[in-house]
Amino acid sequence: MITSTAGIKKALYRSLGIVVVLSIIGCAHGPQPTAKLEDVIAQESGSKHEIKEMNEKLFASVSRTPTMKDYVLGEGDLVQVTVFEAQELKTEGRVGARGFVTLPLLGPVDVKELTASEAERKIEELYRRKYIHNPHVSLFVKEQVSGKITIMGAARKPGSFPYLARQTLLESLAMAEGFTDTAGRTVQVRRAGEDPLHPSTFLVDLDDLIKRGQGELNIEIKSGDIIYIPDAGTVYVDGAVRKPGNYSVKQEMSVHESIVAAGGFSSVADEGNIKLVRHVEDGRRDVIQFSAKDIKDGSVRDMKVKDRDVIFVESNRIEKLIYGLQLNFGGGLFGFGYKPPVD
């Protein structure tokens, strides 16, 4: 009796069924749970306060509001200088590219990166040395050209701001009203140098600066600096999804949205066996197990992913093997192998 190829396949599937099932039972695949779902959900409300606490500490660190006397002079600024004891010396002038402003009797005076009050004292001293016994000088900035900084990214109020005074990173961040809920834990400060095509970049860890109080990280911000606050980084989605890979954490991205971004479940997904791997502060990783039903019911649907989270969707092993089994004929031999299904 001649047996068809289809019959051979059918018989082989049946004969292998018991072996396949036994080989699957007890097999471990992916990370094992270390934390309970309900505990992580309970912690979610607490984690949402982290940015709030960081903003509160940020504003508490800012003790004063700068005035025009604190304004740092720079290229292009138009200043008016008045000497009260000699009104004929009153003059206006722009700060040149090299930081000099030309004044009567004194000629070019270097005022670059001086505050308005520091420039007043310097000009008074120069007049005192040669021309006036006890001069009193007023310097008024009529046009501000050079004094700006730019704050971009996950700030509550991003944009360009007048650089009114020498200020620190924390004072600058306070001008932008702190961080949004999606802010990451680093800040980049980009500063133009002698080579405009290759600016300097300073990376500051906000946890070290604000939470741990490492004051040396509160660097001085200079006119022209660009402060960039990245959003929290990435979530990695792996396992039985259609498009595994890294995905940017956007606008309080949920677990459900992360799986959707990865193309959703594949045809062999075990929707009852999903794991979330999360970094915790002491360097450990928690593994939380849940199901698609938990997502649909709402207990997990709104849970937000965090920077460096890993979501792992397990495979339904029986279904995966059935989909992937194939018979190979050739040269009078036959065997069986596994090929992942194409979704």
Total domains in the chain come to 3
Locate 81 and state its tokens: 């200088």
Q: Crossing angle of helices 317-324/5-24, nearest 10°?
A: 150
In terms of pTM, does the model score above 0.85? no
Secondary structure string (H, E, C) spanning 291-309: CHHHHHHCCCCCCECCCCC
Look at residues 297, 314, 312, 315 and name the one whose alpha carbon lies nearest to residue 41: 297
Q: Is the same domain home to 60 and 169?
A: yes
Q: Is the same domain home to 156 and 303?
A: no
Query: Residue 227 forms beta bridges with which residues?
Result: 151, 189
CATH code of the domain covering residue 118: 3.30.1950.10
Q: Is the same domain home to 237 and 327?
A: yes
**Could you tell me if 247 and 237 are in contact, meaning their C-beta atoms sit under 8 angstroms apart?**
yes
**Could you tell me if 324 and 341 are in contact, meaning their C-beta atoms sit under 8 angstroms apart?**
yes
Q: Is the same domain home to 275 and 154?
A: no
Q: Is the same domain home to 84 and 193?
A: no
In three-state secondary structure terms, 265 is strand
The whole-angstrom separation of Cα 286 and Cα 30 is 13
Domain membership of residue 323 (yes or no) is: yes
- Range of lowest pLDDT (19-28, 48-57, 134-143, 180-189): 19-28
Residue where one domain finishes, among candidates 82, 109, 143? 143
Q: Beta strand 226-229 with 148-153: parallel, antiparallel or unpaired?
A: parallel
Q: Which residue did the predictor score with more confidence, 282 or 247?
A: 247
Q: Is the same domain home to 306 and 163?
A: no
The whole-angstrom separation of Cα 272 and Cα 9 is 30
Locate 307 and state its tokens: 């920077």
The whole-angstrom separation of Cα 293 and Cα 199 is 50
The domain containing residue 113 runs over which residues?
73-143
Q: Is the same domain home to 244 and 161?
A: no
In three-state secondary structure terms, 208 is helix
Q: Say what percent of the chain tops pLDDT 90.
A: 32
What is the structure's pLDDT at 85? Answer: 93
Residue 3 has phi, psi (to 5 degrees) of -100, 130
Q: Is the same domain home to 56 and 183?
A: yes
What is the structure's pLDDT at 325? Answer: 44
**Could you tell me if 275 and 314 are in contact, meaning their C-beta atoms sit under 8 angstroms apart?**
yes
Q: Is the same domain home to 244 and 321?
A: yes
Domain membership of residue 15 (yes or no) is: no
What is the structure's pLDDT at 283? Answer: 53
Domain membership of residue 31 (yes or no) is: no
Q: pLDDT digits over 166-207, tens only?
A: 888 999 999 999 999 888 777 889 888 766 666 788 888 888
CATH code of the domain covering residue 200: 3.10.560.10
Residue where one domain finishes, among candidates 229, 251, 275? 229
